[in-house]
Structure 1
Amino acid sequence: MEFKREIPSRHEKFLKDIIAFLNSIGGKVILGIEDETCIVYGIGEQSPFKLSDAISTMISDACIPQIEPDITIKTIEDKTVLEIDVAPGKFRPYFIANKGKKLLHILE
């Protein structure tokens, strides 16, 4: 399980976490929780539906082979968070499209 307070401005770090889960036993990314402190911040005033669609599009556009993540809207401590469930990939290896298979060596 990986916690993210927000999606990093450099999406590549976020995508690397997704790819790592796809290429291993799977996992979950919870968006809206600080990783080091586990403080729940939520996603703020952002529409959870629009953010979920944006994340889904970003992941499916960037990952090869293409995947469609399972994103669920949850409430923790009266704050909205997104749970991105990443199942182990069926068509491994996965990689970031613009990085090619070179990125696989970094993830292993």
Structure 2
Amino acid sequence: MQEVLDFDEDGRVRALEGKILEFKRDLSSPTRPLRTIVAFANSAGGRLVIGVEDDGTVVGVSDPLSEEERITSLIADRISPQLVPAIDLVTVDDATILIVDVPLSTRSIASPVRQKYGWRPVRRNAS
């Protein structure tokens, strides 16, 4: 997962969302990105890219360092057992995006939303 994303001449991400790639515009609703991270960890691993529209258009995040700290805290506080994805800040033209590389977990990761019921999402296809 360490390869850098490929962009076209318009600055869009060339790859399409799928089993191991998900785009999120922002972290305004942290439940969905956390659910995606858990599903990636419970399947084959994957990459969550924050600051990109569903069609691959890069919009960036408003405060990259703050957003990086926020997603790191959300993962640490809401996902169990502990999961430590690699998080990188990448600048594309004048916009900065966050790339969260989620490894396959050797243990089942519980959902931040329905953890008390033992719900453990698994990623099967594109969202």
TM class by shorter chain equals 0.7 to 0.9
Q: In the alignment, which residue of structure 1 is the partner of 2:42?
A: 23
Question: TM-score scaled to structure 1, two decimals?
Answer: 0.83
Mapped pair 1:7 → 2:7: no
Structure with the larger strand share: 1
Aligned length, in residue pairs = 101
Aligned pairs for 1:1-108 (under 5 A) are 1-9=21-29, 11-35=30-54, 37-44=55-62, 46=63, 48-90=64-106, 92-97=107-112, 99-100=114-115, 101-104=117-120, 107-108=121-122
Rounded to whole Å, the distance in 2 between the matches of 1:74 and 1:93 is 30
Distance in structure 2 (CA, Å) of the matches to 1:18 and 1:5: 15
C-alpha contact 2:90 2:97 (8 A) present in aligned 1: yes
Post-superposition, which runs of at least 4 consecutive aligned residues in structure 1 deviate over 2 A?
A: 96-102
Structure 2 gap segments, 5+ residues each: 1-20, 123-127
Q: 1:5-48 deviations in whole A, cap 9, x for unaligned?
A: 11142x2221110000000110001110001x21110012x1x2
- 1:41-82 deviation digits (Å, cap 9, x = unpaired): 0012x1x22211111010111111011221100012331101
Q: 1: distance between equivalents of 2:28 and 2:65?
A: 19
1:72 is aligned with what amino acid?
Answer: D
Distance 1:97 1:5, change over 3 A: closer
Higher mean displacement: 21-30 or 69-78: 69-78
CA distance in 2, matches of 1:62, 1:14: 12
Structure 2 CA distance for aligned equivalents of residues 16 and 65 of structure 1: 14
Whether the 8 Å CA contact 2:41–2:105 is kept in 1: the answer is yes
Q: Conserved in 1, the CA contact under 8 Å of 2:31 and 2:112? A: no
Normalised by the size of structure 2, how large is the TM-score?
0.72
| Percent of aligned positions that are identical | 33
